[in-house]
Every structure is written in structure tokens, then in C-alpha cells.
């Protein structure tokens, strides 16, 4: 995302599924916003979502999530990351092999980090965007204290 270049101009650019939360460095988020700005037509929209600090600290930190289904099961352990507002996800997937009926195990480690809303707004403004709207949890609802995900709508 931070290295996006040469793809033309668009009316709208989206980055969803908390993808920005996977960028480890603040500078990479600022660069991503600048790169997106370069690829938008005048008046174009930039839509993206991020996890909130509330979700990182109250939902993820030190919690385990699990699903046990016929085809795929997983165990998802969450631990506080080293940086403020960050989390490490230790995931183990068990995927059924249709031929043998046995389950194959796949392990993944994910890192995510978020920032205060005002910091995202600052980076957007520095890149040349105007923040049009913030929506809570991908619905047409205002952002509140227990919002888990924020959708940003910014205009070039």
C-alpha cells in the first residue's frame, strides 16, 4: 500500500478489512494516504476501515476465540503487542482434507496496530484529504465509546 504507484486515476479507492492495521510503522500509513491521494481524481473518495483502540484493548487483548465446524476449525489467541494500541494474533486452523477425512493444521501469526481517530485525520489532512464522514462498525451509525471498527470517508 505504501508503495502504490503508476496505476492511473480513479473515482474511488478502498482499503477494507482492517488492512491498514497491518502496517507496522506510522510512516507507512502516511505514505499510503499520500499514494492513494495521487491515484484519485479531483473530488474522488477514499474509503477505509480500521480497528478502534477500544477493540484492540477491550476485545482482543488477552482473549481467545474459537470455532469448531465440520470443514474448518480454529483457535485464535490474542496478546498485547509491543507498541501502544497493537495486538498479536496467534491463529491455528484445522482444515479437513476431503480425501482422507483428517484435519491439516496451519499456524499463522498476525500483527495489527491502530491509532487514535485524530491521528488518522491528521495523516489524511497532511496527504491533502478532507474527512467527510466517520461511521461506526460499517453501519450508518455515529462513532461511540464502544465502536469496534471505524469507516473513514475522505475526499480529495
pLDDT digits (tens, 9 = 90+) for 96-111: 999 999 999 999 999 9
Q: Which domains does the chain have, with CATH numbers?
A: 10-52+114-155 (3.40.50.150), 56-112 (2.20.25.110)
DSSP 22: G
Residue-wise pLDDT tens digits, 7-34: 999 999 999 999 999 999 999 999 999 9
The pTM (predicted TM-score) of the whole model is 0.92
In sequence order, which residues have a C-beta less than 8 Å from that of residue 44 and are 6 or more positions away? 9, 10, 11, 12, 13, 155, 156
Q: Is the pLDDT of residue 153 over 90?
A: yes
Paired strand residues for 94: 73, 105
CA distance 126 to 143: 23
Terminal alpha carbon distance of the chain: 18
Amino acid at each position: 500500500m505504501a508503495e502504490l504507484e503508476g496505476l492511473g486515476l480513479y473515482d474511488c479507492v478502498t482499503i477494507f478489512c482492517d488492512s491498514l492495521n497491518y502496517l507496522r510503522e506510522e510512516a507507512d500509513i502516511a505514505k499510503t494516504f499520500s499514494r492513494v491521494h495521487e491515484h484519485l481524481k479531483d473530488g474522488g473518495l477514499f474509503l477505509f476501515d480500521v480497528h478502534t483502540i477500544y477493540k484492540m484493548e477491550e476485545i482482543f487483548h488477552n482473549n481467545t476465540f474459537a470455532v469448531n465446524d465440520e470443514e474448518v476449525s480454529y483457535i485464535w489467541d490474542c496478546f498485547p503487542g509491543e507498541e501502544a494500541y497493537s495486538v498479536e494474533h496467534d491463529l491455528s486452523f484445522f482444515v479437513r482434507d476431503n480425501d482422507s477425512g483428517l484435519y491439516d493444521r496451519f499456524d499463522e501469526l498476525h500483527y495489527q496496530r491502530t491509532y487514535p481517530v485524530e491521528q488518522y485525520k491528521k495523516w489524511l489532512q497532511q496527504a491533502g484529504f478532507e474527512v467527510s464522514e466517520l461511521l461506526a462498525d460499517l453501519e450508518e451509525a455515529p462513532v461511540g465509546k464502544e465502536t469496534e471498527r471505524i469507516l473513514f470517508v475522505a475526499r480529495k
